[in-house]
């Protein structure tokens, strides 16, 4: 196991030099997480729209009077 007391002088000498690198790596990690969250939300929205369109087509084939809407409308969205 790494004993940090052995590297105390090294860490104290070069710690400030490693701080910008740590900030860059942390910023990249945060940016990637935000980007992945946006991609996931967009995919979820597309999946929801596709599912509602498929359900509306099925309702039309079954000649149901209450059809689903592409926007959420609590009173009309339920069958």
Give the start-to-end residue ranges of the domains of the chain: 12-62
Per DSSP, the three-state class of 32 is helix
Is the per-residue pLDDT at 76 higher than 60?
no
pTM: 0.53
Spatial CA neighbour of 58 closest among 49, 68, 48: 68
Torsion of CA 15, 17, 22, 27, to 10 degrees: 150
Please write the tens of the pLDDT for every residue from 11-65: 788 877 888 888 999 999 999 999 999 999 999 999 999 998 898 888 888 877 6
pLDDT of 6 reads 78
């Amino acid at each position: 196991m790494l004993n940090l007391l052995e590297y105390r002088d090294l860490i104290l000498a070069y710690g400030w030099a490693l701080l910008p690198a740590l900030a860059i790596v942390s910023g990249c990690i945060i940016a990637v997480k935000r980007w992945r969250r946006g991609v996931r939300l967009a995919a979820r929205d597309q999946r929801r729209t596709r599912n509602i369109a498929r359900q509306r087509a099925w309702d039309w084939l079954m000649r149901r009077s209450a059809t689903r809407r592409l926007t959420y409308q609590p009173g009309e969205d339920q069958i």
